[in-house]
Amino acid sequence: MLAPDQLSFVATNSDSLDEAALDEDARPRVVITENRVIGFLMYEAPEDDDEARIYRFMIDRAHQGRGYGKAALREALAEIRSLGHVRHVSICYAPENEGARQLYRAAGFIEEGLDEDGEMIADLVLPA
């Protein structure tokens, strides 16, 4: 569960799973530690595109600030790299979500500006 002030930052996990059932490119993943689900992320990496998009990412508020988000992002990026056709990864987040901004900057994402919905777009170029 997210903190009340974080609820507007991401769609619910059930909404994301409903979306994944209808989108063949969606790749939902759970974040697990000690046999307990503590987070969720979803990305797409269509084979006809060199860009992957992480469009859902959350860590339960009771587990935030402990490095789980950093580890989950690292694992997701490793999985995306292993696909072989992806050259860069994009992610969007609410500009006021300072925790997300710090996490993505630390992973090497570069902010590109706001999208039409007012979310920050950040991009990571993967090593060749």
Q: What is the pLDDT of residues 84-106, one digit of tens each?
A: 999 999 999 999 999 999 999 99
The CA distance from 77 to 124, in Å, is 10
Give, in order, the Cα–Cα distances in Å from 43 to each of 22, 25, 27, 55: 14, 8, 5, 6
What pLDDT was estimated at residue 10? 55
Distance CA 80, CA 100 (A): 19
Give the number of other Cβ atoms within 10 Å of residue 92's Cβ: 20
Q: Residues near 70 by Cβ (< 8 Å), separated by ≥ 6?
A: 103, 106, 107
Alpha carbon distances (Å) from 62 to 23, 39, 73: 30, 10, 18
Residue with the bigger pLDDT between 34 and 11: it is: 34
- Mean pLDDT over 107-128 rounds to 95
Q: Is 35 a residue whose pLDDT tops 80?
A: yes
Alpha-carbon gap, residue 89 to 46, rounded angstroms: 12
Q: Mean pLDDT over all residues of the chain?
A: 88
CA dist list (Å): 12 to 7, 19, 56, 78: 8, 11, 9, 25
**Per-residue pLDDT band at 2 (split at 50, 70, 90):** very low
Say whether 61 sits in a helix, a strand or coil.
Answer: helix
**Listed range (15-19, 101-105, 113-117) with the worst mean pLDDT:** 15-19
